[in-house]
Structure 1
């Protein structure tokens, strides 16, 4: 029964009086057995609800500082509800979200628990007095965390810290003044090739060293760094290691002609790449008409294509291109059915993922033979799925949990999954918003 109660706790249609009963049950269980996994799961499922009253939120926060922190990060617990003395983790979370009182920072910077100070050190916008305390903390891990994340001028001072780990953290911080980073790069005691990999404002000569590093992982890390210029991009495009060339495709300013060469030379299944995502409609015209299907497929990953490009890619002779464009919004039912007629099982799952796919089309896809399991998975979570389509999904073990949670599941089938031997299925069914109120009451202890 425990997993069913957790499903109920997450059910958006659960009546308020049943939310009250579950909260009481969870708190009683937690007090009786602080190590109870069931109580912890139930409390977190309740904490995720969007309809909790303020009093219920305070009850949950009072249960533990860990729960209070969870609520703070969810945005349901406010600074007025938090005492930093009894809820230090929640107070740090609110400071991290810039919703806490800055006056808390100095108190927390001297907290006896070093883990609290370590968490505080990564919070943005801390007042100078708290930063100064953290910068001389007796725990080097706290100082290192501050050096890595602070946006305070203290980074210039920490660049001279005797601990090399702290200085490396300073070099990795995006807000450390460039002159301090350049000085650190000349420090013979430090190896900064990894630490500088996220910096985008370095002189090209500082990027050149790691870009020629014998370790391919280092070269790959720098290949996607937006700070490297066109000369280094061209050098890395000829790298003998595939991981480096693939990393370069993630660079937001890689030339489109070079990106096309990289795609043609690699049989990877690409996701939407930053350079393609940022391209203008005019820039997309040439790659969309490329003679290479791998290049056309890059464009087909966009979900905001101009209609003429979208429609051209939808009738592409290559199934991989059609599969990439099939989930694009705006495609007509006729176009989607034509894709299936031409390419069959190669595109079924992608067509089922189209947000505009109609109920009848989804039913048709679930009945297609031969079938494709991905179709059932997509249909089970599709907002347009019909009862007959969901019944087909319910018969598949992989798709069954999603189908059991779908509000369009037929009334005669909605309670059957509650007794499923797979607890994921039963819990999903208990969370189905179409579950009758009478059944919810029967499930309550």
Structure 2
């Protein structure tokens, strides 16, 4: 049964199917490129003055002077300094979160920057934008050919935005958390985590429509959906966990459907995860409506979320699954966190191949195997950066949030990180993560059926 004909009513049956031992395919590093962590762009000239300095609200109180608040990795990762301080002059060119399957007319890769600094509350001065990128793996660089800022001059967003009273009406990280993108004709479709919602916009960044998520005739909501208050009941008033919306969204060849994948499991009536799986729901961009179709993605043991989702043909697709760790396990802290160790190192960082034409009786897409991003062969010495605690000849991608994957050709895929500037490290103990892009040779994975 193909995804095109699979009805959501069948998907809603059953709990999570355990992920049994599956094939782990080899991966070889074929290229490594990066945009340095400390990379910034100016806000548009017609944006509110407030947006010329970003990151002013990441602490307990507003901080106006740029570069005065040191960034660190947060309590769960030992609060190690990252060497970059807030606020920023301009907007940080960081947080790449999602590749579009289709390239633009000039061959660029479309990607986007997410909501800014990690939450609705701390990102009102972080503008929302997407990019045309050109990675050059021979040179080790990534050209940003164009950055397009999202704005709502026609009042298509159905709620009050942070810059509501401005003439330009640029969107910010207090409005949406952009996490996935697809190019459909002359428009971009963007998956939002806060709603969760889908955003339809022109290539000029002007919003044309916003669609809430409908499931069984009811709107799916998260604690960040407008109208959800402090006295709301988890599992009743909202069933999508915070930061659990559309982290991945695939455009299916042949059908033209968008398949939006939630980052985390939905909550049941008791407020607990409904299972160790993620919902994937179909949207028809031509009709502007949810189709009622769907399937489930089963998470491997230790995985807590996904990072991206892209089809490679009419039924098979790549999914990044991950845990919340960063840094190599060889430098795991023994006892209390210290500056020379990682308290929660990366363990599960996979690129999984699934087949949506093979759906089981409980609605799960078949997992065909995966590559482990922590054990990538590098016999040709393609790595451009050293890894703290790394092993010679083995390249690792030990980052908290790896949120970009796409097929390049029949042998290669490209993967990139969301570096959460200035809060994540991973490659080094004391340095903010760069925006890293890697080209992987994985012919066996891409040939799996």
Same fold (TM over 0.5): no
For the pair shown, which has the larger CA radius of gyration, 1 or 2? 1
Identify the TM-score tier after normalising by the shorter chain. Answer: under 0.3
Q: More relative contact order in 1 or in 2 (CA 8 Å, sep 6+)?
A: 2
Using structure 2 for the length normalisation, give the TM-score: 0.20
Task: Point out the structure with the larger helix share.
Answer: 1
Using structure 1 for the length normalisation, give the TM-score: 0.20
